[in-house]
Amino acid sequence: MPRVAIRPLTIDDLPFGHRLSTAAGWNQLLADWARAVALDSSASFIGTLDGIDVGTVTAVAFDSIAWVGLMLVEPQARGKGVGRALMERVLDVLDGRRVRSIRLDATPLGQPLYETLGFREDFPLHRYTGTPSHPHRTNTIGQDLRIVEATSADMPRIADLDEQVTATRRRMLLERLRLERPIGGRIALRGDCLAGFVLERSGRLGTLVGPCCGDSEAGAALLATSLESLIGTPVLADIPDAHHEARSLVTRHGLEAVRPLTRMTRGEPVREDVARMWTSSGPEKG
């Protein structure tokens, strides 16, 4: 019987994790793995099978809400209890920290396991990918709305709006994303009021546009501005199925739905404002 063991994931393990995500066809760069460990190193683990590293999982706790991500197991090691052992360890740690809601975006492969561990579906999303082109219809920005570059001084307001939309205090993540790719950070202002924001993340397969949060006018303007700045380059965006306007906008720019995801929660439900969530931050961050 193969022996499964779990140990903490450290900085030295990042190249292994990156190899796993690359082999799985995921978008992560080594910087994504480094970010996960930097944000919360106490709930990230390596799974071993007979002493050989074969799997990973990470988690970041934002006060009382945690996100699990980068759950990966080598194909030849699947079905041998590694994934379950990794998830049980990370859940034990988060439960011990009295995290009231543990969340993740599940792939179809992982969803059955998560259901057996107490996760329940919140809503479906799809990943859209493609090389943006000029839209069939022109996206207009209202005269009272201004799109400008996001700066460090904007981060308190960005974090406040993000918390209104996601019900999660994740300023530390948002600040890091803006610093990693400042060219992709934008805000929408209506007078002096923040109406929306968008951040981007560089990736192995393309630029992930998200999170993008805002009202109906600001969200559309920000998402369109990001896509049009990336015309001719590969782009990814994770969009709730219920957000028909966002789905229509990215489709007009040439992106197509390629992968279903399911947002799930274990514990206390989290009520997100999906109408103002134009794109998500990616499966490992929510």
Instruction: Quote the CA–CA distance of 197 and 147 in Å, as a whole number.
Output: 9
Establish if 106 belongs to a structural domain.
no
Is residue 139 situated within a structural domain? Answer: yes
User: Could you tell me if 134 and 264 lie in one domain?
Assistant: yes
Q: Are residues 148 and 83 in the same domain?
A: no
The CATH number of the domain where 168 resides is what?
3.40.630.90
Claim to verify: residue 152 and residue 275 sit in the same structural domain: yes
The answer to whether residue 134 sits within a structural domain is: yes
Please say if the pLDDT value at position 260 is more than 90.
yes
pLDDT: which is higher, 230 or 135: 230
Q: Are residues 149 and 247 in the same domain?
A: yes
**Domain interval for residue 84:** 4-99
- Per residue in 194-208, is it b (16+ CB within 10 Å) or e — as a string? bbbbbbbbebeebbb
Is the pLDDT reported for residue 284 higher than 90? no
Does the pLDDT at position 23 exceed 80?
yes
Same domain, 132 and 244: yes
Residues 6 or more apart in contact with residue 222 via CB below 8 angstroms: 147, 186, 187, 188, 196, 197, 198, 212, 214, 278
How many percent of the chain have pLDDT more than 90?
92
Residues 50 and 172 in one domain: no
Residue 119 lies in a domain: no
pLDDT digits (tens, 9 = 90+) for 180-200: 999 999 999 999 999 999 999
Please indicate, yes or no, whether residues 185 and 267 belong to a single structural domain of this protein: yes
pLDDT value for 106: 96
Q: Both 37 and 148 in a single domain?
A: no
Domain CATH code at residue 20: 3.40.630.30
| Residues 209 and 270 occupy one common structural domain | yes
In a domain, 204, yes or no: yes
Assign 233 a pLDDT band (cuts: 50, 70, 90).
Answer: very high
CB atoms within 10 A of CB 52: 10
Residues in the chain: 286
For residue 113, tell me if it sits in a domain.
no
Q: Which of 80, 99, 118 is the last residue of a domain?
A: 99
* Residues 73 and 21 placed together within one structural domain of the fold: yes
Same domain, 152 and 256: yes
Domains contained in the chain, number: 2
Rounded CA gap, 96 and 90, in Å? 10
- The model's confidence at residue 134, banded by pLDDT at 50, 70 and 90, is confident
Q: Is residue 120 part of a domain?
A: no
Q: Is residue 112 part of a domain?
A: no
Give yes or no: residues 140 and 265 share one domain.
yes
pLDDT at 140 over 70: no
Residue 138 binned pLDDT confidence (cut-offs 50, 70, 90) = low
User: Largest Cα–Cα distance of the chain, in whole Å?
Assistant: 68
Is the pLDDT confidence value at 286 over 60? no
Residue 178 has pLDDT above 90, yes or no: yes
